[in-house]
Structure 1
Amino acid sequence: MALRKVTAALFAVLALMTAAAVGPAVPASAATSAPAGPGRSHDHFHDHFHGHHPGFAAEAEEAGLDDDEAEELQRQVDHYVARQGGTQVALNRIVVAGMGEIVLPLPGARQARADCPAQNFCMFTGPDFTGAQFNLYRCATYTLENWTGDGSWINNQTPGTRAQFLDRNRNVIHTTPGAYSASSRYNWDPVWYVVNC
């Protein structure tokens, strides 16, 4: 499963909107949950994953994931943690302190199967609320460089609160209806920044 283009700056708060430009996306870092190399065995991963993520290993088994599926999901989690920071708190959930959270779909699933929490603006990398789910809690400006193609969003903030989508020059190109509102298909191509409230 290919990861949909998020950059290291996704959760960077630009509340003071400096003149510093956001750098280009960097290649995904190598997974840290298992050693790289073509000779890695499933047993080696199983021992490594269970040794370093015992709670998550139990979640993987409960979810019915085999070692390959658990490994792929952990690679995705490691990728997002490396680029956005935050702490993995569950098999497919990362909390970025004070900002929000990222919830990834389990292997074979299209959706993260997580509700958009109250007081959050939720963005999805795929249409129809599929793909990785980003729940933005703190009122701030978020950078979305390299988000492309169709995705979706849910505005579940305080009733009446609107989010704004900005282009690369920080011009407003779309203002959402007040909360509660949602769009099952939205083209992220022109969007570089989201001001969630």
Structure 2
Amino acid sequence: MKFRSQITKRVSVLLCVMALAAGAGSAAAAATDRTTQSAESKYAAQAKAAGLSSRQAAQLQDRVDAKLADIKVPAEQVGYNEIRAKDGSAIVTVSVPGVADTSCTYEWLCLWTGPNWTGSKVSFTKCQDYDLNDYSFNNDTLTSYKNNQTTGTVARFYNWEGRKVYKFGSTAYHTEDSLANTPWDNMIDIVDVC
């Protein structure tokens, strides 16, 4: 009888521990859900402040989510239409209908998918080679750029042709160009920022 009592107590303790663990897991999941909802509502508020309707904000968030899923480097959403590489070296800005973002921060190289600094944008600041496919600039989509780095800094643009092939360079300060109607439009795969 005493043996059964000890087994019953041990089973009861084990069940209590399992229930507590399940509760802790549920609490962690609930906290994660609240954090996600908080971020989503913050981005929805930013989109609304930019003049987007709820429907447009939801569609934009879907595009941001798709781009974030396509980016091959560790990255996170930091604004209603902005994704930043976790090391801070790159920012991807998803285009917003009716809102042109032609800006390029000083000491950055900025690239756009559309002519005349339109469409989605990716901006780089560290001196290294970047494969544009890693930042969801797939299928040779570069069409315009601004080299807003320090004076004399040269950015180099390459196409992948079984190997990295140099196509042209851009010397800062504030060199900009639209590649539309040039041989390099929708060709560049890799940039060496400086």
- TM interval, shorter chain, is 0.5 to 0.7
Q: Counterpart amino acid of 2:48?
A: E
Aligned 1:1-197 pairs, distance under 5 A: 53-84=40-71, 85-97=74-86, 98-109=88-99, 111=100, 113=101, 115-145=103-133, 146-148=138-140, 151-168=143-160, 169-186=163-180, 187-197=184-194
Please tell me whether the aligned partners of residues 68 and 75 of structure 2 are also in contact (alpha carbons under 8 angstroms).
yes
Distance 2:158 2:77 in 1: 29
C-alpha displacement of 1:133: 1.0
C-alpha displacement of 1:185: 2.9
Q: Counterpart amino acid of 1:108?
A: G
Distance 2:121 2:64 in 1: 12
The verdict on how the C-alpha distance between 1:68 and 1:122 changes in structure 2, with shifts beyond 3 A counting, is same
Q: Relative contact order (alpha carbons < 8 A, sep ≥ 6): 1 or 2 greater?
A: 1
C-alpha displacement of 1:114: 5.4
C-alpha displacement of 1:190: 2.9
Question: Please, what is the CA RMSD of the aligned residues?
Answer: 2.2
Which structure has the larger Rg over C-alpha atoms? 2
The verdict on how the C-alpha distance between 1:147 and 1:120 changes in structure 2, with shifts beyond 3 A counting, is farther
**Structure with the largest fraction of helix:** 2
Distance 2:157 2:190 in 1: 6
The count of residues paired between Structure 1 and Structure 2 equals 147
Q: Structure 1 stretches of 5 or more lacking a match?
A: 1-48
Scaled by the length of structure 1, what TM-score is found? Answer: 0.67
Please tell me whether the aligned partners of residues 150 and 173 of structure 2 are also in contact (alpha carbons under 8 angstroms).
yes
Distance 1:65 1:78 in 2: 17
Q: Counterpart amino acid of 1:77?
A: V
The verdict on how the C-alpha distance between 1:91 and 1:149 changes in structure 2, with shifts beyond 3 A counting, is closer
Please tell me whether the aligned partners of residues 94 and 120 of structure 2 are also in contact (alpha carbons under 8 angstroms).
yes
Say which is worse superposed, 76-85 or 51-60, in terms of deviation.
51-60
The verdict on how the C-alpha distance between 1:59 and 1:76 changes in structure 2, with shifts beyond 3 A counting, is same
Partner SS, residue 69 of structure 2:
helix
Distance 1:185 1:95 in 2: 25
Percent identity of paired positions between Structure 1 and Structure 2: 29
